[in-house]
Amino acid sequence: MAYDIAKEETWRVFRIMSEFVDGFEDLSQLGPAISIFGSSRAKPNDANYKKAERLARLLVKEGYAVITGAGPGIMEGANKGAFEAGGESIGLNIQLPFIQKPNSYIKTKLEFRYFFCRRVMFVKYASAFVMLPGGYGTLDEFFEIITLIQTQKITPLPVILLGEKYWNTFLKWAKETLLAGDYIEPQDLKIFQIVDTPEEVIQIIRHLPHPKGRSRIKR
């Protein structure tokens, strides 16, 4: 049987639509939430895993749900903290060629085939973004979010980089290479802020309103 590329592309459109529909239906009544990103390789005894866990517990006390990528490492730590604190623990799992098993601390789990559909859910329902140390995936998410803010495609929201040792290296490079080379403007470095403890994140979060049901993505 010959491969019908037109038919296959048409069905791909419907698969994409279904991921958006499922995400909108499941998360539209979520209320205020914080999206947390970080390495999938961090172990439970890792300092950053423990930071994510503590941060999530504190966020639940402040009335926020926690959204992660559903996997192990930092994601598991954040989901665990939210789950054990009795809060909403959301996991947006991505289907990969190798298996990413969702962690066991998720109350609401969504499955995604497409990264860009999943990314919309991270952004659309978040009141702020917290980035812990991570690899390519974390950096990809970080750069996309700050690009959306820089280009005014989404409402400006706090982008908080948790872990001074890791993120100060990036800040140094951004100043000495991006800013010095005139690739960004000085105000672009103000899109994000660097802190070192979960308690500092909470101090920033406490200045936020609790928007419920409001899209952060501009039309």
Encode pLDDT of 140-198 as tens digits: 999 999 999 999 999 999 999 999 999 999 999 999 999 999 999 999 999 999 999 99
What is the per-residue pLDDT for 101?
85
**What is the pTM (predicted TM-score) of this model?**
0.90
* Cα torsion angle, 119, 107, 71, 98, sign: negative
What is the per-residue pLDDT for 213?
43
Domain residue spans in the chain? 18-164+190-205
Query: Under a CB-based contact definition with an 8 Å cutoff, are residues 91 and 79 in contact?
Result: yes
33 to 64, 65, 121: CA distances (angstroms): 5, 4, 11
CATH, domain range 18-164+190-205: 3.40.50.450
Burial class (CB in 10 A: 0-12, 13-18, 19+), 77: buried
Angle between helices 47-61 and 198-205 (to 10 degrees): 30
Residue 32, strand partner residues: none
